[in-house]
């Protein structure tokens, strides 16, 4: 599907298409681009229980600024779930597959734009997938933005995995545990009482919260299998030795709201500190007062969007301190 329209006097093209993953699972992709050669391409790893179509407004702002935007619906999410199960990455090696899917998307972009810089944007769960991707493919991007993220204790992830394994034993891999959901999200609304909906923690903008609730591809309960995959991935990316695998000169921007319960107050600072301790020298942290989890759907989303575009342009203007590979090996 393809459409062309004018945005602030700029011709913009949007199309959706299916991208074959390394194991043959079709990935639904959205692509927004200007009519002219873009300054750079931004590729997205979205969060849990949402989909890439929710980023259309941000994509249009990027196009208006001269950037191109690619976003896939991750396995078990959005339209890609037609070829699997909503809320389930895969029957086996789900974490490896979703990380590998970013490599597939990067390879597709590089084939289309052999010499154009590529940036990676990861939101929430997508930020953890992005970190895992960067551990092995830092040279395929010129920078990364990690939003709505956190940096927790390895022991906490190990303990949570014990609960998830018990729930998988009790319900099966495709079961959907109310206990895991409560342990993960049960306290997120606590700071915002009195609350109007179970998802007030996402944004101060009630209209955006209502859109999320009304979207049948948002807010669903994920499977025990996905939770185990995610917790396995978090255990892989948390040690210092893992973060040291990311190129130390790679520009990384960490963004979030200081009222985001996912980061538990100082999780963003812990992430920035962990990267610095691992030797990363070009990490920037930007925290927004009173903002909640979804910065691009928050009341101050225009400010956030401007800041992200400014960071992209500033990063492009800086001398490249490491080689940018023209080809990323296909996974």
What SS3 string covers 139-194? Answer: HHCCEEEEECCCCCCHHHHHHHHHHHHHHHHHHCCCCCCHHHHHHHHCCCCHHHCC
Dihedral angle computed from the Cα positions of residues 297, 283, 37 and 69, in that order, rounded to the nearest 10 degrees: -30
Q: What is the pTM of this model?
A: 0.94
| Domain assignment of residue 175, yes or no | no
Dig out the tokens for 222 from the structure. 């994920």
pLDDT at 321: 56
Collect the ranges in the chain with pLDDT lower than 70: 1-10, 320-331
| Domain assignment of residue 201, yes or no | no
- Return the residue matching tokens 């619906």: 73
Domain that holds residue 139: 2-152+240-317
| Domain assignment of residue 191, yes or no | no
Indicate the pairing of strand 68-72 with strand 26-34: antiparallel
| Domain assignment of residue 326, yes or no | no
| Domain assignment of residue 270, yes or no | yes
CA angle 282, 124, 207 (to 5 degrees): 120
Distances (CA, A) of 302 to 31, 36, 290: 21, 24, 15
CB atoms within 10 A of CB 47: 25
| Domain assignment of residue 251, yes or no | yes
CATH of residue 80: 3.40.50.1820
pLDDT at 1: 55
Render the burial of 251-261: b for 16+ CB within 10 Å, e for the rest.
bbbbbbbebbb
Alpha-carbon gap, residue 156 to 231, rounded angstroms: 10
Dig out the tokens for 108 from the structure. 């597709």
| Domain assignment of residue 91, yes or no | yes
Alpha-carbon gap, residue 69 to 46, rounded angstroms: 13
| Domain assignment of residue 100, yes or no | yes
Indicate the pairing of strand 118-123 with strand 252-257: unpaired
pLDDT at 254: 98
pLDDT at 9: 56
Q: What is the number of domains present in the chain?
A: 1
CA-nearest of 287, 281, 284 to 262 is: 287
Quick: pLDDT tens for 157-183. 999 999 999 999 999 999 999 999 999
Alpha-carbon gap, residue 134 to 188, rounded angstroms: 29
């Amino acid at each position: 599907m393809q459409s062309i329209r004018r945005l602030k006097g700029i011709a913009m093209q949007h199309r959706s298409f299916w991208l074959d993953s390394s194991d043959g699972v079709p990935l639904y992709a959205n692509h927004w681009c200007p009519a002219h050669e873009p300054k750079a391409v931004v590729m997205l790893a979205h969060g849990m229980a949402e989909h890439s179509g929710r980023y259309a407004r941000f994509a249009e702002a990027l196009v208006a600024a001269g950037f191109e935007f690619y976003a896939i619906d991750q396995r078990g999410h959005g339209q890609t779930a037609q070829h699997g199960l909503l809320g389930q990455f895969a029957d086996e090696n789900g974490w490896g597959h979703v990380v590998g899917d970013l490599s597939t998307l990067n390879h597709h972009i590089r084939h289309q734009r052999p010499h154009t810089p590529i940036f990676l944007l990861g939101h929430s769960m997508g930020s953890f997938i992005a970190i895992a991707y960067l551990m092995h493919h830092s040279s395929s991007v010129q920078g990364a933005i990690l939003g709505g993220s956190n940096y927790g204790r390895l022991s906490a992830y190990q303990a949570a995995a014990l609960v998830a394994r018990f729930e998988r034993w009790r319900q099966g891999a495709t079961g959907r545990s109310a206990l895991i959901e409560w342990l993960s999200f049960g306290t997120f609304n606590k700071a915002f009482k009195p609350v109007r909906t179970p998802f007030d923690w996402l944004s101060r903008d009630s209209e955006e919260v209502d859109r999320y609730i009304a979207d049948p591809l948002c807010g669903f309960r994920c499977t025990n299998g996905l939770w185990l995959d995610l917790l396995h991935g978090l255990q892989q990316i948390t040690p210092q030795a893992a973060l040291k695998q990311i190129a130390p000169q790679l520009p990384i921007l960490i963004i979030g709201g200081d009222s985001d319960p996912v980061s538990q107050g100082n999780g963003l600072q812990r992430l920035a500190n962990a990267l610095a301790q691992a030797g990363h020298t070009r990490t920037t942290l930007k925290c927004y007062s009173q903002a909640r989890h979804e910065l691009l759907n928050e009341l101050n989303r225009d400010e956030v969007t401007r800041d992200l575009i400014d960071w992209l342009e500033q990063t492009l203007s800086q001398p490249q301190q490491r080689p940018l590979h023209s080809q990323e090996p296909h996974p």
